[in-house]
Every structure is written in structure tokens, then in C-alpha cells.
Structure 1
């Protein structure tokens, strides 16, 4: 059967630690987790009549990335490639903000941005090869077809074959060192005998998390029952800048915070007065917050996805640091 777009990609479930042997079919295979947009690439004879780049949710992205459409001429027909779209800025550094600009542009703007902010597809799986559907083939066979494709065609940028290892020691080293590079968040783990299951959360992802500190500038809920936090850091001029939102607070943390929070009182001026907050990064859903005096320090657990000094994903609040003062928190 020839695959036709849209096809749901196989997804990953989040874990805190690397899975033990036997958690997935076959031997565990470790790959870097890229901080980009998931995408499937269909080459012409795979049932779409032309090169088609599909988002995770099935939207056509081809006109947003004319550079990838042109480069697809180096690929044979009848392939469906699964990978991560990433974009590098003018300094050659992976940038999620640049990727967002590319994904929103069309026409002449898309063509201009393709020159300034080149896109790449990091390929980590194949759903179809030379017109042969591979969904039920074990991952080791699908990977072998990919390696042969890259070798025989001598594929280079914008196509990248995702590195992988079966050595857990190497994987731990990647987890510790590669995540220092912008654009790499952690590891994705799949099984060597695993078949491709569209739409299923059958893979495992582990994000690197670090401990940081931030000031509490606002809350959702009420001062007596805070639900989540809006966090900030002072910039070099001493102005409080928003750096992230928290996940829902644990009950013990919420109780402790309720004893220490000071809502902004009449006559006091909060640096976020009049600022509109949204529920998540890139969201337009307004967030109803209560401003509090930014004098409390929270210890938080964060991943590596940052943009313009702020954490894009929700952070976890570990505890309130009553022993720390705002001046002790690193600057924005």
C-alpha cells in the first residue's frame, strides 16, 4: 500500500529517566531529541504528485520551506521520511524563534527567509522506501534503508541522518554534553524491533532538566490557594522580566507559598502592572493572574528549551527558598 498524506507520526511519551532493557521491543536505540517541528516528507511517487512537507498535525508546510522543496530533487521518488525541522540563524546556531518565523512565512517572504535562515530536516525514520510501505518492518530494517539512502545518494545539507547509538554509556554522555548545545533537549529512545505505529505514543523521550532559581512575580489562583506561578528575573537594569510559567503546584508547595505571598497593595507599583500574560509560549489564550510582590525566590526544575532568556516549556517548582534574596538570583 502506498502511503498518502496526511499520516500521523509516531509520538513519544515523556519519562524522567532512561528506560531499562526490555521496555521497548528489541534493543534500545538512543537518538538526540531535537528542539524543532516534527515533519514528514513525501517524495512524488508516494501518492502526492509533488514533494509534500507535512506537519505533525497534518498541515502542508511545503510552501513555507521552498529551500527544502528544491533540495528534494536529490531524493528518489516513493519515500516518506520522518524527521525534525530545524532552522539555523545567521550565526549558524539552531533557533526556535527563527523556525517559527519560517513556518509563518509564505511567498516572497518565505523565499527571502530561506536564504537568511536555512532549514534542515534531521531524518530519524522512514515510513516508506521506493514505494514500499515499511510500517510493519522492524526499526532496524527501516534504519538500514535510511543509511543506504544517505550513503548511495551522498546526501548532505539540508538533509541530515540523525545520529544514534545502542551504547547506553554513549547515550548518557550525549545526554550530559549535547544538551548544552542550543536545539538539543535530551534523548529519544526506540526499540530495534519496534514497528511504526502512526499516532501512538510508542517511543520514549527524556528531557534534560536543570535546577535554577527565579522570582515569583505573579500567581494564578488566589494568594491563599495559589495554583501556579509566573516567574521572573531582574535584567541588567534591575527591571523584572518574565522568564516562565510553572506547572500546577504540589499541595505542600502551595501551602508554604500561601504563608509567604504578599499581593500587590494599593499605591504600590508592580513592574508587571498592565502586562498581559498568556497560558503558554506562543499561545493567545489570556492568563488571569494576581500580581504579588517579587520578593520570594523559587527553586525550579527546567529543561533546555529557552528563547530570548525565557523557558518555553512550563517549569516545575521544587520548593520555596526563604533563605535566598532577590539579589541572589541570576540576572536575566
Structure 2
């Protein structure tokens, strides 16, 4: 493979690292939080099919009505273990993997170039006959193929495509360049306005460090955030740099995805929430 930038599909799910250990499987969110209990169907599949000593990076996704459904994945991620089991019976999860961190025969491979890791990952899945719900994310170095994906797959729930240098070593965090139909950025939720049981807007810390209030939340978003605010502790009164007041809370692993084009303004637009 050349050192051109690989293009891969960006599925609309939850970033998850799968650890296949000798006697068990652990699933971790991007923040390192253990999420095995809510993705137990994936943990069982990984235990059955992956060899011990394997660590994969990818996304937990859910298909509903013929497309990838982020709302269904979010509902699973925010549910209790008991409710997650019920949801798994209705809509089983899939795990789409794009990288390998630990290989059972080669050990820690994070310092190897991405094209080497991709080859090791593909060979491991093939040699161990790994089948869905665990699957390899398609990838191409052909810009024409990537553009075809970008233009034709949104109706299937594909957010866009992501790109990374083929000779890149593995680093945690957001290291792929995303090319989405609607460009967004993630912002930490640090507060809210209105009552905690039905917040009117969020206070978010943008990637540049600025704290801003969002536009009014839709009823579904308000209901989602209210569940988290109930356990976030007593708020403190604070102000944004522009003087707007809000109830400040310590960051607790919830992020708001906001339209990138709105972040330069005093008010930002929330498209959805993400847990870390």
C-alpha cells in the first residue's frame, strides 16, 4: 500500500475499544469507561471469535430499518444493563473495526504504520473466521471510490468518510480527519440553563476553550440531558465570556455534537449528544 491517505467509511455509532483477554472480554468507551454491560452481545461475540491477546479499535453500531441508527446506539449506551439486554434482543449490535492495538502473535503494534496494522487486522479476522457482528470497516486509497461512498451511502446511515496517513502510528483520541455531509465538532457539556429536569439550553466548552450557550434544546435532547444532570451534583452560578448566566457543573463525560459553522457565534447549534 502506498502512503496516500486511506479513506474509510464513518459509521454512526459509539467509539469502542474491545479487549479480548485470556478469560474475559472488556469493552471501553473512548474515555476509558467500561461499557461491557451495555454491549454484552458484542462482548460474547468477541469472546467466541477473537483470540486472547487481541485489542481492537472501532465502533459499536446498531442497524434499524435497513440503516445504521445512531439514536438506537445512544439509547443502548445510556441504558441500564437490564434494559440493554432487552434492547439487544430487539436490535442486536454490530462492531465495525478499523484498527488493531494488540495482536496475539505480534504484541503491541501501535507503533507500526497504519497500513501494517490494517494488514494484520484483516489477516487476523480472516484466519479466525471472524463473522458479523464483528466486521472490518471498508477502506480504499482511491479518491473516486471514496467520493462514490460519500455521495451514495448517507441513506444507509453513513455519516461520511474519514482519512488518515497510511504511515501513521496509532494514537488515542480523534486522529482521523473526518469529511462529513454536515461538519460538526464535539464540545464538553459544562452547564445548562433552566431547570435540571427540563433544561432549556446547554453551556458547552468548544474545542478552542470558549464556553458558549447553545440554542434551545429540542424536547428529546432535553430529556436525554436531564437524566445525566440528575446525577451531576449541585450546580454553581457562572457566566459565559459574553455575560450570559448558566448553572455550571463539572464535566461528567457527556459531549454535545454541534455544527462547526456555528461555533464562531455566541450561540451554537446542538445536533445530538455523545457519551464518552
Unaligned 5+ runs, structure 1:
1-24, 211-217, 221-226, 233-240, 245-276, 287-311, 318-332
Q: Following superposition of structure 1 onto structure 2, how do residues 48-67 of structure 1 map, counting pairs within 5 Å?
A: 49-67=23-41
Return the structure number with greater helix share. 2
- Is it true that 1:138 corresponds to 2:117 in the alignment? no
TM (norm. structure 1) is 0.55
- The match for 2:60 is 85
Q: Distance in 2 between matches of 1:69 and 1:219?
A: 36
Q: For 1:231-310, what aligned pairs fall within 5 Å after superposition?
A: 284=229
Measured at CA, do residues 171 and 51 of structure 1 come closer, stay the same or move farther in structure 2, by a change above 3 Å? same
**Quick one: distance in 1 between partners of 2:227 and 2:6?**
32
1:101 aligns with 2:75: yes
Q: Which residue of 1 aligns with 2:9?
A: 32
2:178 paired residue number: 205
Describe the SS at the equivalent of 2:140.
Answer: coil
Aligned residues: 211
**Deviation of the 1:203 alpha carbon:** 2.4
> CA–CA distance in 1 between the matches of 2:108 and 2:117?
10
- Give the TM-score normalised by the residue count of structure 2: 0.66
Residues 139 and 195 in structure 1, CA contact (< 8 A), matched pair in contact too:
yes
Map 1:51-200; keep pairs closer than 5 Å: 51-72=25-46, 73-89=48-64, 91-130=65-104, 132-182=107-157, 184-199=158-173
2:205 paired residue number: none
From the CA coordinates, give the structure whose radius of gyration is larger: 1
Q: Give the direction of change, closer, same or farther, for the CA distance of 1:111–1:228 in structure 2 (3 Å limit).
A: closer
CA change 1:207–1:107 in 2 (3 A) is closer
Distance (Å, rounded) in 1 between the aligned partners of 2:119 and 2:19: 19
Paired with 1:74 and 1:242, the residues of 2 have a C-alpha distance of 41
Matches of 2:201 and 2:39, distance apart in 1? 39
SS of residue in 2 equivalent to 1:84: strand
Alpha-carbon distance change, 202 to 113 in structure 1, aligned in 2, over 3 angstroms: closer
Q: What's the secondary structure of 1:88's corresponding residue?
A: strand
How far does the alpha carbon of each residue in 1:119-167 deviate from its partner, in whole angstroms, 9 at most, with x for none? 1110000001105100111111111111112222222211110000000
Query: 3-state DSSP class of the match of 1:28?
Result: coil
Give the superposition deviation at 1:242: 7.4
Q: Tell whether the 8 Å contact from 1:125 to 1:142 is kept in structure 2 after alignment.
A: yes
Stretches of structure 2 lacking an aligned partner (at least 5 in a row): 184-199, 203-211, 236-255, 263-276
2:67 touches 2:155 (CA, 8 Å); kept in 1? no
Q: C-alpha displacement at 1:92, in angstroms? A: 4.1
User: Per-residue displacement from partner, 1:90-133 (whole Å, max 9, x unpaired)?
Assistant: x3432122112212334432222211111111000000110510
Contact 1:53 1:62 in 2 (8 A): yes
